Amino acid sequence: MYGTLAGALAGRKIRFDRDLYTATVDGRIAGFGKTIRIEAITIHYDLTVPPESRAETERALKVHPEGCPAHQSVKGAIKVTWDATLHLGDEVIHLRSDASPE
């Protein structure tokens, strides 16, 4: 999803510093012993974009899972969500796939 989001931003001509664009991932495992499975995955993005690109960036974040082959492959079996810390000049906002902006 990291690469898919980068592509969505580039496709919209949104300038972002690739050195400051990061993502970390958390997973939730269910079961015990030899029988375990991944139950949920959350991707945490940290991204800096120009303030004038806020609307386009929010749209790219909202739609990028639909263009991601990995997400499309597992979405029926594993809950996949994302959240983002978005730096817009002096403003910092937090977005989540399952909620409105904070």
**Straight-line distance from the first to the last Cα atom of the chain, in angstroms, rounded to the nearest whole number:** 22
Map out the domains of the chain with their CATH numbers.
2-96 (3.30.300.20)
Say if strands 35-49 and 22-32 run parallel, antiparallel, or are unpaired: antiparallel
C-alpha to C-alpha distance for 56 and 70, rounded to whole angstroms: 23
- 24-75: pLDDT as tens digits: 999 999 998 889 999 999 999 999 999 999 999 999 999 999 999 999 999 9
What is the model's pLDDT at position 102?
43
Would you call 76 helix, strand, or coil by DSSP? coil
What is the model's pLDDT at position 50?
96
